Every structure is written in C-alpha cells, then in structure tokens.
Structure 1
C-alpha cells in the first residue's frame, strides 16, 4: 500500500513539474528523431564530459529540451543524473517508478543498457501534453560505461 501511494505521489509530482506549454509547441517526435537525438547526446558527453553534458541536458531553457523531445540519464545503479523533463529528479533513485501495469520502467531502462548496450523500452506513462496515460517508447544507450541516457516519444 505504501509503495502504491509513493508511486502515485511521484507520478503526480512529475506531472506537476512538467512544462505543458513548452511541450505543446513542438510536433511529436518520431522514432528516427529520438534515435538521432540520443546519438547527439552521446556525442555531447564525449565532447564535453559527463558533468557538463548532464547539466546541459537538464537545462529546461537550453537546446536539449525540444518540447516532448528531451533527454534523461541515470547511473547504472538507478540514480537520475540528468532530466530535461523534470530536473527535480536529479539525485534521486528512480528504480521504483512503475507504470500503471506495474512495470518498473527505469529497471527496464537500466537493464536494456546493461544487457544490450542500447535499444527500445516500452511502457505506459502520462503524456505531458494530453495528461492521458499512453504508451511511451524510449530509446536508450549506455554512456561512458557508467550511465544510461535516453529519450522517447508518446504513441498517439
């Protein structure tokens, strides 16, 4: 019961801290857009290092937040280190976040990076534009052998 309340509270906090007007201004990204975006994230980490790149990815007014298309990064232990949709998550362990079907979304994200190095993860999540729970497809890549970074899109 406590876990369900915590999950619901965290989900509500994430929705409250999202930036709906910004999300509404940008067309929905495609799978190709997401893969290209994560590739650019990977290149940025290589170019400037993790500390600077993670700060850049989390800047809500910076070039790495393009409406619904934004990046996130977690350590392989599940600690959020960058989030362009909700910087309040930085420093928090996000492994306990569940979708409405009980899928531990960030466990799936970290496992994908650990086992395959990169790939797609699918789960249900509130769309910040419509506030409806829909399928979200997230593409992730292992970064600097210690992190997983990704981005995604909502299936309409």
Structure 2
C-alpha cells in the first residue's frame, strides 16, 4: 500500500525555521512542499489505475489508507463538483461542493475542477480549514485529471 513520503511533514515543520533563516531558505522549503504535493497527487492517480476507482477513493478518505498524514491528504472530485474522496474531511464525501465559497468568496472546487478538466493539471491557492488545527489558512493545491470524470489533488497548508 502506498505511503506518503516523509518529505512533506518535515518540510512543513521546517518552514518557520527556514523562513527565519532567510528568503532563499523559505523558497526552498516552499519548493519542497510543492514537489511533495505534486508527488502525492501523482501517486494517487497511479493508485486509481492500479487498484481501481472504488478502492482507491476509499483509500484516499481513510486515515490508514496510505494517503493521509497529518494535514496532508488527497482529495478527488467528479466533474459536477461532488466530492468523491477527501482525506482531510471524509464527511465531505458525497457532497457537491461546486458552489462552496472560501472566506474570500472564491469557489475552490469550481476552480480546481476547471484547472484539472480543462488544463489537465495545475496549481491553485485558496483558504481552507486545516483538518489538524481547525483554523482557516492558506492552502496551495495541485490538481490533475485522472479520468474523464475525475480530478484528484493534494496540497499543503501555509502555517
């Protein structure tokens, strides 16, 4: 079963220390977070292909499914905005989030779906509840088209 590489949590813990060390170190930490998020999303896409969609989606939403670690997790949406997997908040599975707005009035699911379905893959930054701290903070997410009617992504929270 796939496991999340330890790079992402280590990079998150290092961000405040690196930021204090200077802008170059903070940029390096941010780059490491981006690479880890992209890797997690790509591993999720490969997992869908390897074990099939139903099992993969279930794995993504389970804390012990190999795709959730702390506040790092995979999420997947259908084209209509229905959440099909969410490692950060499994209670969202089955809910249509297309019109849900973040505190700044943006619609993250709509934008993430547009990026995934029209561009194939890309990044988006929005504000979202951190599942560990329960605070609304900046989230940077990478999303990619996995199947004709499925996008999956992963990201990180700025602390």
TM-score by length of 2: 0.77
Between structure 1 and structure 2, the one with the greater Rg is 2
Displacement of 1:67 after TM fit? 1.1
Preserved contact between residue 70 and residue 132 of structure 2 (Cα < 8 Å): no
Matched, 1:45 2:48: yes
Q: Which runs of 5+ in 1 are unaligned?
A: 1-25
Deviations 1:71-95 (A, max 9, x none): 0101011111111111111111011
The structure 1 segments of at least 4 consecutive aligned residues displaced by more than 3 Å after TM superposition are 128-132
Matched, 1:111 2:125: no
RMSD: 1.5
What is the distance in 2 between the residues matched to 1:88 and 1:132? 17
Matched, 1:97 2:100: yes
| Counterpart in the other structure of 1:121 | 124
Preserved contact between residue 88 and residue 131 of structure 2 (Cα < 8 Å): no
TM-score by length of 1: 0.78
- Of 84-93 and 130-139, the range deviating more from structure 2: 130-139
Give the aligned length. Answer: 131
| Counterpart in the other structure of 1:73 | 76
Displacement of 1:131 after TM fit? 3.7
Query: Aligned runs of 1:2-41 on 2, under 5 Å?
Result: 26-27=9-10, 28=12, 30-41=33-44
| Counterpart in the other structure of 2:64 | 61
